[in-house]
């Protein structure tokens, strides 16, 4: 009986071990591949579910809208209603820039900033318009002379009575407001203030004071002419007759129109 050499036995043994290792590696490869495919499928499925969840406004709505900044006329609930009407999607879909433009377009908002607050909030900071005058009867001028459309209701009657009424051609808002401020600063030394001011198409100035007196200041040197009126006011006040108007369109002096008895009554 022939015996297998010891060297051949070791070679066979190594071949068997190598084959076993190859089989194990092959099993591990397929198991790893299967695991990878499973994880990939799960990730794709999770991504789809996440996308659906993000798009579903019922699962990720804008729940908390916080409005800050000093406000007198801006009402928080109106801002909330406007945002929910113009941005009906989810928190993640909300367009911050568009929301910012929408809020700043509100009549009483001068400036605004908008930012998201995780996980479902929105923070809005507003700078309110500061009304300085009523312009042409139906608009308002802010402190910078910019006109904005914010109709005053009956509740704002006190504001209507406090603000001066300025009238002028389109585009003259800032000129009119600055002219009013310059003239009112001269009148601050008296008990008089401007209730109405008219700036004509030719930029002639006419004002009416709180005592009913109307002043015609003309187009040029209107500040100097108003100063002349202030200087002569003590003399005019000594008259027993009531002043109807004062025409100051002269190099020196002035013309006074007195109220008749009917007007005085």
**Which pLDDT belongs to residue 13?**
57
Rounding to the nearest 10 degrees, give the CA dihedral for residues 25, 26, 30, 31: -40
From 163, 158, 202, 203, select the one nearest 179 (Cα to Cα): 203
For residue 67, CA distances in Å to 95, 98, 103 come to 17, 17, 11
Rounded CA gap, 47 and 35, in Å? 18
Would you say residue 48 has pLDDT above 90? no
Confidence of residue 265 (pLDDT cuts 50, 70, 90): very low
* pLDDT for residue 30: 72
Q: Spell out the domain ranges in the chain.
A: 8-55, 64-128, 131-264
In this prediction, residues 75-81 reach a mean pLDDT of 91
Range of lowest pLDDT (163-177, 192-206, 230-244): 230-244
Rounded Cα distance between 129 and 109, Å, is 6
4 has pLDDT over 80: no
- Please confirm whether the linkage preceding 232 is cis (ω < 30° from 0): no
Q: What is the 3-state secondary structure (H, E, C) of 145-196?
A: CCEECCCCCHHHHHHHHHCCEEECCCCCHHHHHHHHHHHHHHHCCCCCCEEE
pLDDT of 255 > 50? The answer is yes
Rounded Cα distance, 127 and 136, in Å = 24
More confident site: 144 or 6: 144
pLDDT beyond 60 at 44: yes
Give the whole-angstrom CA distance, residue 107 versus residue 104. Answer: 8
pLDDT of residue 150: 83
* Check whether domain 64-128 has CATH 3.10.450.30, yes or no: no
Q: Is the pLDDT of residue 63 over 70?
A: yes
Model confidence at 22: pLDDT above 70: no
Confidence band, pLDDT 50/70/90 cuts, at residue 3 = low
Q: Output 24 or 100, whichever has higher pLDDT.
A: 100
Does CATH place domain 131-264 in 1.20.1260.10? no
pLDDT band at 11 (very low <50, low <70, confident <90, very high): low
Asked if residue 115 has pLDDT above 90, the reply is yes
Q: Decide: helix, strand or coil at residue 127.
A: strand
Instruction: Provide the pLDDT confidence category of residue 264 given band limits of 50, 70 and 90.
Output: very low
pTM reported for the whole predicted model: 0.73
Residues 177, 181, 182, CA angle at the centre, nearest 5°?
120
| Res 94 pLDDT > 80 | yes
CA distance 131 to 152: 11
Over residues 93-118, the mean pLDDT reads 92
- Mean pLDDT across the chain: 85
Amino acid 14: pLDDT: 58
What is the C-alpha to C-alpha distance for residues 197 and 211, in angstroms, rounded to an integer? 14
Dump pLDDT digits (tens) for 183-235.
Answer: 999 999 999 999 999 999 999 999 999 999 999 999 999 999 999 999 999 99
Percentage above 90 pLDDT, the chain: 55
């Amino acid at each position: 009986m022939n015996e297998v050499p010891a060297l051949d036995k070791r070679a066979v043994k190594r071949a068997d071990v190598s084959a076993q290792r190859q089989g194990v590696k092959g099993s591990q490869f397929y198991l790893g591949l299967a695991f990878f495919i499973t994880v990939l499928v799960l990730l794709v499925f999770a991504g789809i579910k996440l996308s659906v969840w993000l798009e579903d406004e019922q699962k990720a709505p804008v729940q908390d809208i916080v409005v800050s900044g000093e406000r007198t006329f801006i009402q928080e609930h109106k801002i909330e209603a406007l945002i929910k009407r113009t941005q009906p999607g989810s928190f993640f879909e909300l367009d911050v820039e568009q929301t910012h433009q929408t809020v700043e377009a509100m009549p009483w908002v001068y400036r605004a900033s908008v930012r998201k607050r995780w996980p479902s909030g929105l923070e809005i900071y507003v700078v309110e318009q500061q009304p300085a005058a009523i312009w042409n009867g139906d608009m308002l001028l802010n402190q910078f002379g910019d006109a904005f459309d914010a109709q005053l209701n009956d509740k704002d009657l006190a504001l209507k009575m406090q603000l001066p009424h300025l009238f002028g051609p389109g585009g003259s808002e800032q000129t009119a407001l600055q002219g009013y401020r310059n003239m009112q600063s001269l009148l601050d030394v008296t008990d008089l203030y401007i209730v109405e001011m008219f700036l004509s198409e030719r930029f002639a100035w006419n004002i009416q004071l709180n005592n009913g007196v109307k002043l015609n200041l003309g187009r040029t040197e209107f500040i100097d002419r108003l100063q002349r009126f202030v200087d002569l006011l003590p003399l005019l006040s000594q008259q027993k007759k009531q002043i109807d108007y004062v025409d100051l369109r002269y190099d020196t002096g002035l013309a006074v129109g007195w109220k008749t008895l009917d007007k005085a009554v």
